[in-house]
Chain A
Amino acid sequence: MPSLLEGTVITLELSALAITAALILGMVIALAALSGRKAMTLPAGAFVQSMRNTPLLVQLYLVYFGLGMIGLGLSAFLSGLIALTAQNSAYIAEIYRGGLQSVGRTQIEAGKALGMRRREIFELIELPQAFMRVVPPLCNQFIQIIKDTSILSAIAVGELMHQGKMLSERTAATYEIFIMVGLFYLVITSIVTFATRSFERRFAIAH
């Protein structure tokens, strides 16, 4: 039990760090992708496509074993955090982009007709409307990140999944331990879902 709780703490740490980093990096990538300048859209697009179309596990091995081989050895925790952030920032960038693009053209034209500047239109019209639309898909992505931290057990980051597996090898109470671990994940992801739902309800804007 104590080792499972210890693992849960590490899972939560990893998730919180990866979510924060991916939210920020995703915004940078989304803005680059929407900038309309080839020098920025091309690398942003290449990053998103290469992250979305390769497995997290392979990226993780590349960071952990690949960088280690050329003398840039990172700790398992840091390697995992980098891989988690890289993969999920690509997904989050796409969520932001979808949200911004879903704001109707007429909204932007109305802003222009009122004599607003490009920046004002972005900050006062596009961003607030896009914000509410990205909350539900972001919630899904947060859950995905929390679940994906389990993959880091493959390089022995001592998070929940890894602790569960080690405990089951030591005690042979495999059934009970894995069900326990599953319940831990279920509780964490349920809390996230519940929190975003109530957030959505509180900040819902009437259309």
Chain B
Amino acid sequence: MLPEILISNSWLLLQGVERTLELSIATVLFSSAIGLLAALLRTFGWWAFRVVVDFYVYVVRGVPLLLLLFFMYYGLPYSGIDLAPIPGGILVMSVYFGAFMSEVFRAAIEALPRAQWDAARSLGMRLPLILVIVVVPQAVRLSAPAFINTCILLIKSTSLVSIIGLSELTMVGRQIVERTFAPFQILLGVALIYFLICYSLSRLGRYAEKRTRYAH
């Protein structure tokens, strides 16, 4: 079924997949941490923190990821900060998607029924304890569908680091195209690999959505 050209290059493509998955997993982890922290600070923090988080989300929402990648890759070396492409890419993508994740978590925190708060307060709990054992566990569960959608966007966006020369799946695909002059077969193969990763994740999202709906 598969064109021979894909099979003969499957080793290279697999290496690209590995790098793409590495980048994706690291970025999901870091951006979730940034997002959760930002969401908590935005919802419960001191007013100065709220202003900072709002500004961060506003800037990231209005600026393309590619620009931030260029800034890191071409701009920062001028000020003596020379990040290697892989950690630099992960850092920039984590900061970028951290803002999206913070909105995902914030919506979930705000969707939590007031009665949960009232119940926790009437049991004599203080804010840190309420956050740790009442709010965060439920909010994380509520946010599952939106979280998975953001993860899919994130995985697709890792293709952009190929533009700053990181050899993940898209870059490997382009390199094979340059060598073989078979753009259709190779790029469709690359698209298919992304599809398999993201589509299976979106099925998981559907399942999560059903589970969260039954929880009430």
Contact = CB atoms under 8 A, between A and B. Distances in A.
Interface of A: 49-50, 52-59, 61-62, 65-66, 68-70, 143, 147-148, 150-151, 153-154, 161, 164-165, 168, 174-175, 178-179, 181-182, 185-186, 188-190
A118 B205 CA distance: 33
B184 A62 contact: yes
A22 B64 CA distance: 20
A52 B152 contact: yes
Interface of B: 59, 61-67, 70-71, 74-75, 78-79, 152, 156-157, 159-160, 162-163, 170, 173-174, 177, 181-184, 187-188, 190-191, 194-195, 198-199, 202
Contact of B157 (A55, A59, A186): A55
Given A70-B184, A174-B74, A178-B71, A54 B61 contact: no
Given A50-B195, A53-B202, A143-B61, A61 B67 contact: no
Nearest to A174: B75
A175 B183 contact: no
A61 B183 contact: yes
A185 B78 contact: no
Contact of A57 (B71, B74, B170, B177): B170
Contacts of A50: 191, 195
A106 B162 CA distance: 50
A58 to B, nearest CB: 5
Contacts of B78: 174-175
B67 A161 contact: yes
Contacts of B62: 143, 147, 185-186, 188-190
B67 A62 contact: no
A150 B79 contact: no
Interface of A, secondary structure class, is: helix
Contact of A54 (B59, B75, B182, B198): B198
12 contacts: A53-B198, A53-B202, A55-B170, A57-B162, A61-B183, A62-B184, A62-B187, A70-B184, A151-B64, A164-B67, A175-B78, A185-B67
Contacts of B198: 52-54
B44 to A, nearest CB: 25
B66 A151 contact: yes
Contacts of B194: 53-55, 58
Contact of A185 (B63, B75, B187, B191): B63
Given A52-B152, A55-B159, A181 B67 contact: yes
Contacts of B71: 178-179, 182
A50 B63 CA distance: 26
Given A53-B198, A151-B160, A66 B63 contact: no
A181 B62 CA distance: 11
